[in-house]
Structure 1
Amino acid sequence: MEPFTSEKPLVGMIHLLPLPGSTRYTKGGMPLIVNTALRDLEALETGGANAALVENLRDVPFAKRAPTETIAVMTVIIEEIMRKARIPIGVNVLRNDGIAALSIAAATGASFIRVNVFCGVAFTDQGLIEGEAHALHKLRNRLGCEVKILADVHVKHAAHLTTIEEAALDAARNNPDGLIVSGIGTGKRAAPEDLQAVKQVTPLPTFVGSGVRIDNLSTYREADGFIVGTSLKENGKVDAPIDPARVRALSEAIVGLRKGK
């Protein structure tokens, strides 16, 4: 699947420090935000990650749609990342601003986006969130870009009314480029049976989007890729920097998985 050049790609997370306008932002902190993101990018590349996904994870509490200052700042940061990156870069704008993510990607040359609620409805700590598949496709056509859309099925940090099979079929009908299965929260393991259920009802590439570690990797043999953050951090702590040694270890384990080991 484009833009990934490897089978079962490892997509490492770049969790940005709190951005201007967010509750935890420290005034004058933009140079630190950019440098920290670039350091994580270097660690991911050194460790052998196949792509990176940039996300405003530390902007809690989130708005349903990102404020204009968040969109502007993420564009600046991702443009800096794109200048240095040797691997494909993706964008996720929390809590659920696929329009902003797609716009940032188109402006900066990023290759893909993650959309937490692509279609249907999710009950979240931000309230009721509705999908925006139609608007995303319309914008992508209008921009004339080839940014790929990865859509969550039963996104984490949310409750859902449909079965995972129903949600996967609904998502597939709305034509994303790939799907994502995750656990109940950041760093929480996705149920292997959820991955299997999605793979049984749609041929779309399906990524595991949370909780992947070396010790459970073998339970996700059917996955088409892995989006990993927490277990790649120093001591497995979500707020820590990326540890290139952890990236290398998981990357090598995935190589073994590709070979059927």
Structure 2
Amino acid sequence: MQLPDVFNIRKPVIGMLHVPALPGSPQNKLDFNAIIDWVLRDAEALAGGGADGLMIENFGDVPFYPRRVPPHTVAFMTALGRELRRRFDVPLGVNVLRNDSASALAIAAAVNAAFIRVNIHTGARLTDQGLIQGTAHQTLRYRKLLGCDVKIFADVDVKHSAPLASRELRDEVEEVVSRCCADAIIVTGSASGRQTALEDLRTAKGAAGGAPVFAGSGLDLMNVAAVLEVADGLIVGTAFKQADVITNPVASERVHAFMEAVRNLRHQ
């Protein structure tokens, strides 16, 4: 995949839409209309502030299902995705936590989203949901079955998890791209909001065979210049939130300031 296949700008910034707990989830407090309003307000702040793409994620649905989510989650996420596609003319991505790539693909195909994120595309990881194994073989075949061109953005050494055995990051990146057919790579810190190591980004870039490499956590105004020197794009969540609290609404002034810095860096 080349970045122009999805984005019309170099070094794109994807803003996260962390969906509050959906109906049926243990932490749910809002009815679905209120959730739609919340997500649309965040999307307006992101798109209005200059973000180059959006990604919707059922962040509030803790504790997450390790694999398949129930049908109502797919229905709610599809409805949200449809509203976003109707209102915002930027590429949309879908992530269904913790690792439901099939539902993410189905949602993306239904709403004409551009990409999905898969936290564990290949291999196996120990997580707070237990042992999760990648299902690249199923994900790629399901995409073929759907006949869609939704791109697969795959994490490597994904946050909030640990490997079963020690493994070189370079080897994992090479396999995710060459043997498991990921279209782009995401590198993160150990948890949401924690900085992505520059050395990990360099390693991933060297092993990705030309596939785009995104930094997926811990971005802010202090480190964005250094990260953008290496990464092909950014996924930003916490830095756009009020008071740097991931569950808070998006603060439009933070988006504007961050994107102004990115625009200046693009022209250097």
TM range (shorter): over 0.9
Match of 1:168 in 2: 173
Q: Kindly, what percent of the aligned residue pairs are identical?
A: 43
What pairs up with 1:92-111 in 2 under 5 angstroms? Answer: 92-111=95-114
Q: Which runs of 5+ in 1 are unaligned?
A: none
- Quote how far apart the aligned CAs of 1:245 are: 1.2
Contact kept, 8 Å, 2:198 with 2:230, in 1: the verdict is no
Count of aligned pairs between the two proteins = 259
Runs of 4+ with deviation above 6 angstroms: none
What pairs up with 1:63-74 in 2 under 5 angstroms? Answer: 63-65=65-67, 66-74=69-77
1:47 to 35, 43, 49: 49
Q: Which runs of 5+ in 2 are unaligned?
A: none
C-alpha RMSD of the superposition: 1.0
- Quote how far apart the aligned CAs of 1:170 are: 1.4
1:228 aligns with 2:236: yes
- Quote how far apart the aligned CAs of 1:20 are: 1.2
1:240 aligns with 2:248: yes
Deviations 1:7-32 (A, max 9, x none): 01010000001001111112x61111
What pairs up with 1:135-154 in 2 under 5 angstroms? Answer: 135-154=138-157
Q: Which amino acid aligns with 2:216?
A: G
1:215 aligns with 2:217: no
- Quote how far apart the aligned CAs of 1:257 are: 2.2
Contact kept, 8 Å, 2:195 with 2:217, in 1: the verdict is yes
Deviations 1:225-250 (A, max 9, x none): 00000000112111111111111111
Return 243-252 or 144-153, whichever deviates more. Answer: 243-252
Deviations 1:78-136 (A, max 9, x none): 11111111211110000000111011000111111000001111110101111111111
- Quote how far apart the aligned CAs of 1:256 are: 2.2
What pairs up with 1:184-223 in 2 under 5 angstroms? Answer: 184-202=190-208, 203-220=210-227, 221-223=229-231
Counterpart CA distance in 2 for 1:204 and 1:111 is 16
Question: What's the secondary structure of 1:86's corresponding residue?
Answer: coil
- Quote how far apart the aligned CAs of 1:219 are: 2.0
TM-score (norm 1): 0.97
Match of 1:178 in 2: 184
Counterpart CA distance in 2 for 1:216 and 1:4 is 23
Q: Which amino acid aligns with 1:204?
A: A
Question: What's the secondary structure of 1:222's corresponding residue?
Answer: coil
